[in-house]
A and B are shown apart, each in its own frame.
Chain A
């Protein structure tokens, strides 16, 4: 199979997942419909009517981690091609990535010392 065909198969799988979901919904619909009743569609809040809307600003208390995560996630994009050619490049590859990772790791330590790795 060529790469294009492989991705076509994966795309077909995606379409299949959507088709399966839709046919399950159709089956459920054939079994019975949802009856419209007052108060039934209020989001769960343990017995009390919920204050609307729930879409308010949420304090993501892990923002320090999130910023470090961005740096590490970008770096991982380079790690995969590097990992594949690692053995043929030998020691050079180890040292190249070693220096890169050491700098990144120092960044992690610096972030840690500045209090990035805690609940804000």
Chain B
């Protein structure tokens, strides 16, 4: 029962994110557009490049989709609406997101095309930059919750959400989560306007449809992770818990799609420099400050 409800919720979330992206990037609003675009992609030819590494080429889209789904599986929408309340939940989110890198590198390497490969290596550079900013802020969240259970993490934010308790961690995690789903301004792996769409360059038809679906799932997962770790999950007055959870996830997803308008695009070497020279010292500072606050009984 829970699984069905969560599946429907995820589907609705993906559809809403697709609509939002349409609205925010193209300014058009057609409720059936994502569905029609999906069917159109399925009806198109799905060409395989000349001499591909077939295994990597075929695995990449399904691996990206799986990574997003597995990350979403351990995140609760309400106290009871969670597919798997894993004892190592917060760590599992990390582990699942690590496969985004593997999937994109496979998609870059697999088709044996120059543009795709450059974009794949680009994403590796991006991962080395953002990865610590996903892992370290979650540690500080776990310190406060004294648990890696995602439901306990939400309960630990009773009265004082983590966005106020550890604003520094929130900012770092939020920026890093944009980079995980390679949304603008970190969309250089799919290279809008250069490299012929980067890692997506050699994917057409049904395979591209799965790749794009995977990315949508990823956006919803990261929005859910931000909600659970920093925005008090299902907590809120008047409305039932699941409604609060869903509202927050959609709001975060919308803000993630909008962020590209206001942030400059960075080359991966610039992103690396910012993340390692400023981001990681700040993340360590965040862990220390939260540690002291927890010991002080705040």
Interface centre among A18, A31, A53, A54 (most CB of B within 10 A): A54
Q: Find out whether the CB atom of B70 lies under 8 angstroms from the CB atom of A34.
A: no
Q: Find out whether the CB atom of A13 lies under 8 angstroms from the CB atom of B69.
A: yes
Q: Find out whether the CB atom of A83 lies under 8 angstroms from the CB atom of B142.
A: yes
Q: Find out whether the CB atom of A83 lies under 8 angstroms from the CB atom of B209.
A: no
CB distance from A68 to the nearest CB of B (A): 7
Q: Does A44 contact B (CB under 8 A)?
A: yes
Contact of A24 among B42, B281, B294 (CB under 8 A): B42
Q: Does A41 contact B (CB under 8 A)?
A: yes
> What size tier do the contact residues of chain A reach?
35 or more
Q: Find out whether the CB atom of A84 lies under 8 angstroms from the CB atom of B147.
A: yes
Q: Does A99 contact B (CB under 8 A)?
A: no
Closest Cβ neighbor of A55 among chain B residues: B112
Q: Does A103 contact B (CB under 8 A)?
A: no
Question: How many B residues have CB within 8 A of the partner chain?
Answer: 72
Q: Find out whether the CB atom of A31 lies under 8 angstroms from the CB atom of B121.
A: no
CB distance from A38 to the nearest CB of B (A): 11
Kindly supply a per-residue 1/0 record for chain A positions 83-118, scoring 1 wherever the CB is within 8 Å of any chain B CB and 0 otherwise.
111111011011001100100010010001000011
CB distance from B223 to the nearest CB of A (A): 19
Q: Find out whether the CB atom of B66 lies under 8 angstroms from the CB atom of A14.
A: yes
Segment from B45-53, B160-168, B233-241 that makes contact with A: B45-53
Q: Find out whether the CB atom of B280 lies under 8 angstroms from the CB atom of A72.
A: yes
Kindly supply a per-residue 1/0 record for chain A positions 28-58, scoring 1 wherever the CB is within 8 Å of any chain B CB and 0 otherwise.
1101111100001111111000111111001
Q: Find out whether the CB atom of B129 lies under 8 angstroms from the CB atom of A65.
A: yes
Q: Find out whether the CB atom of A105 lies under 8 angstroms from the CB atom of B281.
A: yes
8 A Cβ contacts from B105-153 to A: 109, 111-118, 121, 124-125, 128-129, 131-132, 135-136, 139-140, 142-143, 146-148
Interface residue ranges, A against B (CB under 8 Å): 1, 3, 6, 9-10, 13-14, 16-18, 20-21, 24-25, 27-29, 31-35, 40-46, 50-55, 58, 60-62, 65-66, 68-69, 72-73, 76, 79-80, 83-88, 90-91, 93-94, 97-98, 101, 105, 108, 112, 117-119
What are 26 A-B contacts defined by CB distance under 8 Å?
Answer: A3-B87, A9-B73, A10-B73, A16-B69, A21-B65, A24-B210, A25-B46, A32-B43, A34-B47, A41-B47, A43-B50, A43-B201, A44-B115, A53-B112, A54-B113, A65-B129, A69-B128, A73-B131, A76-B136, A79-B139, A80-B88, A80-B148, A86-B294, A87-B295, A97-B291, A117-B272
Interface residue ranges, B against A (CB under 8 Å): 42-43, 45-51, 61-62, 65-66, 69-70, 73, 83-88, 90-91, 109, 111-118, 121, 124-125, 128-129, 131-132, 135-136, 139-140, 142-143, 146-148, 196, 201-202, 205-207, 209-210, 268-269, 272-273, 276-277, 280-281, 284, 287-288, 291-292, 294-295
